[in-house]
Amino acid sequence: MLLKRPQRTIRNNGACFRLHKLLHIMIKKIGFAQFEVEFGERQANFARVDALLKNTDAVDLLVLPELAFTGYEFKDRAEVDSLAERCGDGPTTDFLRRIAQKINAVVVAGYAETDGSHYYNSAMMVLPGGETHNYRKVQLFSRENDLFSPGDAAPKAYDTPAGRIGMMICFDWYFPETARLLALDGAQIIAHPSNLVLPYCQKAMYARSVENHLFTITANRVGTESRTGRTLIFTGGSQVLDPDGQVLTLAPTEGGFLGITAADISKADNKQINQYNNLLSSRRTDLYGSLLAQDS
Ligand code: ACM
């Protein structure tokens, strides 16, 4: 749906300029699938998503959890190797292409990626036509550091039929710079595949949404894994937040759940807080140099 909205002035990096294109209201159906992931059982995990989508014909954007089809707690790199895939080539890509086509959606899901001698904890974005974009988790959490290489590129936003979408993965939320980079790249929606075990993220994403004035979709998993002498409890509570921090849809802490909501994603284009403040151009970048220093 496309409706016209009046022209306005925005500021960007201190330079005030007219926004020449008209802003458009863009209603999109966006959301997530939350489910219990069975370690190493890729086909069974595909089937869980199929079951959740059984009565769904059209969605614009669907986000699935981190490491959505492999499970999370790999014992070692050999186990990662046995389940990792290349972006755009493998059973996970095939499955994501199939559901992207079925529901005519952009689909984002976490997966274990192999490339040369490296493994990455990655997210793949698959467009309805099958094209892919890839993101490699930049901030690895805990034991992930023994298993994966950290992402080698800053996150980026991509124009898609569901809007301009960026990806970050789970623990990336702890570093506000990750979401800010996506906001600076024009993301209207942050797709956030997750396997959350700490209790803070769902609340913290309120801040990520508000401070960047954009939509965030955190797709978490549920269930437990006890594969390395510790028990991980995944906290569910997947959510879609709007740029004002309103919860548009929220999953319970347990059980499978498909959460889809209609949203005007053009709301994310307005970074003006009031007549004086714009959340991007009002940044005091002249004072932020020490943010880039490694020692603190
Ligand atoms: C996490 O980053 N999976 C906690």
pLDDT tens-digit readout, 35-90: 999 999 999 999 999 999 999 988 999 999 999 999 999 999 999 999 999 999 99
Confidence class for position 294, pLDDT limits 50, 70, 90: confident
Instruction: Name the residue with the closest Cα to ligand 1, atom 3.
Output: 195
Q: Which residue has the tokens 């800010």?
A: 180
Atom of ligand 1 nearest to the CA of 137: 2
**CB-based contact 167:113 (threshold 8 Å):** no
Is 66 touching ligand 1 by the criterion CB < 6 Å? Answer: yes
Is 148 touching ligand 1 by the criterion CB < 6 Å? Answer: no
pLDDT of residue 22: 55
**For the chain, how many helices (H) and strands (E)?**
6, 17
Ligand 1 pocket test target in 195, 220, 221, 230 with most atoms within 8 Å of CB: 195
Stretch 97-114: mean pLDDT: 98
Say how far apart CA 123 and CA 280 lie, in whole Å: 26
| pLDDT score of 5 more than 50 | no
pLDDT of residue 98: 98
pTM of the predicted structure, to 2 decimals: 0.92
Is 69 touching ligand 1 by the criterion CB < 6 Å? Answer: no
| pLDDT score of 9 more than 50 | no
In angstroms, the first-to-last Cα distance of the chain is 48
Confidence class for position 24, pLDDT limits 50, 70, 90: confident
In tens, the pLDDT along 147-203 reads 999 999 999 999 999 999 999 999 999 999 999 999 999 999 999 999 999 999 999
